[in-house]
Amino acid sequence: MNVYRKSLVVQLVLFIVFFVIGANMIITFYLSELIPWIGYVLIAVLVGLGVIGFRIYRKKDETISIVTQQEMKTVRYLLYGYFIVYILQLILSSIQSMEAYLEIINLATGSILMLIALYGGYMQYKIIKIK
């Protein structure tokens, strides 16, 4: 499948955003009382990455990369997995009876989200560099 290289770079930036969101779950849980402005830092980082992604997408780069069907499926399953884990974290953290396990839930889901984002970023980097 032919894909513009700039689209692959934007997807790489998206996986970096996913990594930041996963790290934010862990950092916010442990540091939100000590550093109450940590949310503003997250917003600034996400806006900065959004601007970077938009600028990359607006470039006039017409380079085409060839992506195999297997690579597309892998990226798709990574995105599905990220979505499922993120929704699961939102549901479990809102249940009152799970409040005793909130630390474990945030640590586990944040770590899983970061691992998914790292692997997705690695896949995108591999596709961009090799092809």
> 39: domain range?
2-130
Q: Identity (one letter) of the amino acid at 2?
A: N
What pLDDT was estimated at residue 83?
Answer: 95
Number of domain units in the chain: 1
Contact 2, 60 (CB under 8 A): no
Sign of CA dihedral 83, 72, 48, 117: positive
Q: What are φ and ψ of residue 93, in 5° steps?
A: -75, -15
What pLDDT was estimated at residue 131?
Answer: 61
What pLDDT was estimated at residue 124?
Answer: 92
What pLDDT was estimated at residue 86?
Answer: 93
Tens of pLDDT, residues 24-77 = 988 988 888 888 888 899 999 999 998 998 898 888 888 888 889 999 999 999
What pLDDT was estimated at residue 96?
Answer: 82
Which among 45, 8, 27 has a CA at the least distance from the CA of 125? 8
